[in-house]
């Protein structure tokens, strides 16, 4: 048995670091199955100061296994090349397969909704006298993650019917399915605030927000009411625009006198301020639906009495509110063009006035010279007749021939110039001839002046028409800035009016032809 145990122990591999220990050394022993003690083999360890760095810290190729003292932040060229190679591979994957991009593993519903989404429409004016309507049209998408909707811009003319705008909006909307499964275009309705909304109310009408005191303007001078600033609702939140209310607000007694009873048309309801009017949070707005055959200009004129109008689209979760432009916003480009035209006219008005005065003076001098010539001719005839030997027998045929020749010459002159035989016509001809010479001498472009006058009157007429639509009074001197320009425009309008009257009078005086009689 002992020999077999010794043979089995010889088969166990020995450690190269194990020292040679005597066979019968004092070591702990264990008892085998038969009670024979057996010595345990001791394995010696290498001292720590003799261990190599590779065994102590591991492989130096791994930066995580290195001590912090041996690390640095310098990027080697190999690391740069590896990063560039990985970047080229990623870009190539994006080109070949665009869905392999950053964040593609996240579902689209994980993105938050943008807070800058447009929720209210706008109605703007353009230099081309068209109306630009911007609407945030919704789609039939049921995704809760709504991005910023691209607003739709539409150009319409004020004289076009609402049905034209309705068809433009329907062309941009998805179709709806009825109960039978057929597709159709959604209906679009236009609603504006009811100007007579308080007529049928049985309850007491709410008071108009006016100042509670009757303090005069002089007492309020130098003070600003920062607590009563205008407010506007933007993206579902009430924002203060920073625009102060006017200090000339009426007292309650004055407001009652100006406003009148329901249905009589109040000053505040027909101010034409549009979306610039102060916000009344307590007032309840009532809307009425307008017919699609109404002109857009008439619809906006009535909607301007409020602050906004609504566009209701069938199938949409909410209606679209559109702010109504005020009179100042509606006529902004027209008034700017009128100011530029008036500025050019003001620069040319001084030169024209100087030339016209000189021409009038020259025409009067010609008239005086003619009168002096007639008086001189009378004196000569008198002297030759009564103070010389010629007598009346000789001077009578001379005066007759001279007078007849003058009459024939004047008639031929008027006939050649195609003018009416009158003193006024002769004076106008003389003035115009003198004006042409003076204009050329002072480098005054008469054609440019006439074009500017026509443009100014056309702009003024259009602004006046819009002012009538908004029921406001417009002071043209604020835009023209010069009284001479206003007089020049008024003079041209009066001239055209007189020419029109003369033309109508001539048409009435003309005898009716056989064809006209048959038509009648």
Give the 3-state DSSP-derived string for 179-218, with helices as H, strands as E and coil as C.
CCCCEECCCEEEEEECCCCCCCCCCCCCCCCCCCCCCCHH
Q: Tens of pLDDT along 298-308?
A: 888 888 777 78
Residues 230 and 318 grouped into a single domain:
yes
What pLDDT score was predicted for residue 20? 46
What pLDDT score was predicted for residue 247? 45
Residues 367 and 412 grouped into a single domain:
yes
- DSSP E strands, 304-458: 308-313, 320-323
* 15 located within any domain: no
Quote the DSSP letter at residue 17: T
Structure tokens at 438: 């003076």
441 contacts 352 by C-beta, under 8 angstroms: no
Question: Computed over its alpha carbons, how large is the radius of gyration of the chain?
Answer: 51
What pLDDT score was predicted for residue 164? 92
- Residue-range definition of the domain harbouring residue 404: 334-505
269 contacts 305 by C-beta, under 8 angstroms: yes
* 444 located within any domain: yes
| Residue 125: partners with Cβ closer than 8 Å, 6 or more residues away | 131, 132, 325, 329, 330, 331, 332, 333
Which of the listed residues 267, 291, 326 is the one where a domain comes to its end? 326
* 391 located within any domain: yes
SS3 of residue 233 by DSSP: strand
Q: How far apart are CA 52 and CA 17, in angstroms?
A: 16
Residues 304 and 345 grouped into a single domain:
no
* 5 located within any domain: no
Residues 378 and 489 grouped into a single domain:
yes
Which of the listed residues 326, 359, 389 is the one where a domain comes to its end? 326
Residues 282 and 348 grouped into a single domain:
no
Residues 414 and 437 grouped into a single domain:
yes
Residues of the chain with pLDDT under 70: 1-66, 68, 70-71, 96-119, 138-149, 195-285, 421, 423, 502, 504-520
Q: Tens of pLDDT along 199-252?
A: 444 444 444 343 434 344 344 444 444 344 445 444 555 544 444 444 444 454
Question: Strand 29-31 relative to strand 37-39: parallel, antiparallel, unpaired?
Answer: antiparallel
Residues 273 and 352 grouped into a single domain:
no
Residues 322 and 338 grouped into a single domain:
no
Residues 232 and 375 grouped into a single domain:
no
Residues 233 and 166 grouped into a single domain:
yes
* 108 located within any domain: no
SS3 of residue 122 by DSSP: strand
* 29 located within any domain: no
At 38, phi and psi to the nearest 5? Answer: -135, 130
Q: How many CA atoms lie within 13 A of 209 on its CB side?
A: 12
What pLDDT score was predicted for residue 63? 59
Q: How many CA atoms lie within 13 A of 357 on its CB side?
A: 6
| Residue 154: partners with Cβ closer than 8 Å, 6 or more residues away | 132, 133, 134, 135, 165, 168, 169
Residues 383 and 248 grouped into a single domain:
no
Q: How far apart are CA 327 and CA 301, in angstroms?
A: 10
Q: For the chain, how many structural domains are there in total?
A: 2
* 128 located within any domain: yes
290 contacts 192 by C-beta, under 8 angstroms: yes
* 361 located within any domain: yes
Residues 392 and 445 grouped into a single domain:
yes
The predicted model scores a pTM of: 0.49
456 contacts 491 by C-beta, under 8 angstroms: no
| Residue 389: partners with Cβ closer than 8 Å, 6 or more residues away | none
Structure tokens at 52: 């190599």
Which of the listed residues 326, 351, 374 is the one where a domain comes to its end? 326
């Amino acid at each position: 048995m002992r020999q077999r145990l010794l043979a089995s122990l010889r088969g166990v591999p020995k450690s190269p670091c194990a020292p040679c220990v005597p066979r019968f050394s004092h070591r702990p022993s264990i008892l085998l199955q038969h009670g024979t003690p057996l010595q345990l083999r001791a394995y010696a360890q290498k001292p720590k100061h003799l261990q190599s760095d590779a065994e102590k810290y591991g492989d130096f190729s791994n930066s995580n296994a290195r001590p912090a003292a041996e690390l640095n932040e310098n990027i080697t060229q190999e690391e740069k090349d590896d990063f560039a190679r990985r970047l080229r591979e990623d870009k190539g994957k994006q080109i070949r397969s665009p869905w392999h991009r950053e964040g593609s593993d996240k579902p689209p519903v994980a993105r938050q909704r943008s807070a800058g989404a447009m929720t209210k429409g706008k109605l703007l004016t353009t230099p081309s006298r068209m109306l630009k309507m911007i609407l945030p049209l919704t789609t039939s998408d049921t995704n809760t993650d709504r991005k910023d909707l691209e607003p739709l811009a539409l150009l319409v003319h004020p004289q076009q019917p609402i049905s034209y705008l309705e068809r433009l909006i329907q062309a941009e909307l998805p179709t709806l399915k009825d109960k039978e499964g057929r597709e159709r275009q959604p209906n679009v309705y236009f609603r504006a605030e009811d100007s007579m909304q308080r007529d049928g109310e049985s309850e007491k009408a709410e008071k108009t927000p006016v100042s509670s005191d009757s303090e005069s303007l002089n007492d309020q001078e130098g003070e600003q009411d920062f607590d009563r600033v205008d407010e506007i609702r933007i993206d579902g939140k009430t924002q203060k625009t920073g625009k102060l209310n006017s200090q000339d607000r009426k007292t309650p007694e004055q407001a009652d006198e100006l406003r009148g009873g329901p249905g009589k048309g109040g000053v505040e309801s027909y101010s034409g301020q549009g979306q610039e009017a102060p916000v009344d949070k307590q007032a309840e707005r009532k809307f009425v639906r307008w017919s699609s055959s109404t002109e857009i200009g008439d619809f906006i004129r009535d909607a301007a009495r409020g602050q906004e109008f609504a566009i209701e689209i069938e199938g949409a979760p909410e209606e679209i509110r559109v702010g109504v432009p005020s009179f100042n916003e509606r006529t902004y480009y027209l008034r700017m063009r009128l100011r530029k035209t008036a500025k050019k006219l003001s620069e040319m008005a001084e030169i024209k006035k100087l030339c016209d005065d000189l021409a009038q003076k020259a025409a009067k001098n010609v008239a005086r010279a003619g009168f002096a010539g007639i008086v001189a001719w009378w004196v000569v005839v008198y002297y030759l007749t009564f103070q010389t030997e010629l007598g009346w027998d000789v001077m009578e045929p001379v005066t007759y021939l001279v007078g007849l020749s003058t009459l024939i010459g004047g008639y031929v002159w008027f006939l050649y110039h195609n003018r009416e035989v009158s003193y006024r016509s002769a004076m106008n001809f003389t003035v115009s001839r003198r004006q042409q010479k003076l204009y050329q001498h002072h480098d005054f472009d008469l054609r440019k002046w006439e074009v500017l006058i026509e443009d100014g009157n056309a702009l003024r007429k259009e602004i006046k028409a819009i002012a009538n639509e908004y029921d406001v009074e417009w002071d043209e001197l604020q835009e023209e800035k010069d009284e001479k320009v206003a007089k020049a425009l008024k003079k041209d309008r009066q001239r055209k009016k007189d020419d029109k009257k003369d033309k109508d009078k001539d048409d009435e005086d003309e005898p009716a032809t056989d064809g006209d009689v048959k038509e009648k």
